Amino acid sequence: MSSVASNAICEQRKEWRREHPFGFMARPMKNPDGTLNLFAWECGIPGMKDTIWGKGYYKLKMTFGNDYPITPPQCQFDPPIFHPNVFSSGAICMPLLVEELDWRPDVTIQQILLAIQKLLCEPNIIGSADAEAAIMYNGNRLMYETRVLFQAEAMRRPKE
């Protein structure tokens, strides 16, 4: 375990606990022995209100490598969701999470989660990960929106 990565994650955790967007959740997962695993987090993203995603609450896992913050964490919806930028495994395809593209070591967990929330409503069709979702988004928006609304209903937002 890298002490640089551990220190960076601890600082991110302190920052998150001090201040984070309403309705979002991010916390380290627990190991089998009950200790915290700073390198594996469970997160929750509320869908933006007044959008087709609005009723849903989307859970994801964020995994940090030993070279964090030089490299971005891996983010994966669990369970996977239907979206042009989400692989069938739940892995998220977006430039912010790619070291060679938009990743910077100063990007925070809060910024990542807010960017993912925005991506839900504003998919990047050029960098699509799910061909079916991208084709439906471009070719039959009503069918796409109906499927997303059904999905959001199945992943209801917890009581606030």
121 is an active site residue: no
Token pair of 138, please?
């471009």
- Identify whether the C-beta of residue 41 lies closer than 8 Å to the C-beta of residue 61: yes
43, 75, 93, 121: the catalytic one is 93
Helix, strand, or coil (residue 138): helix
Ramachandran class of 147: left when φ > 0, alpha when ψ lies in -120 to 50, beta otherwise: alpha
Q: State the chain's maximal CA–CA distance in angstroms.
A: 50
Half-sphere exposure of 133 (CA within 13 A, CB side): 24
Report d(CA 158, CA 160) in Å as an integer: 6
Helix, strand, or coil (residue 36): strand
Q: Mind telling me the catalytic residues?
A: 93
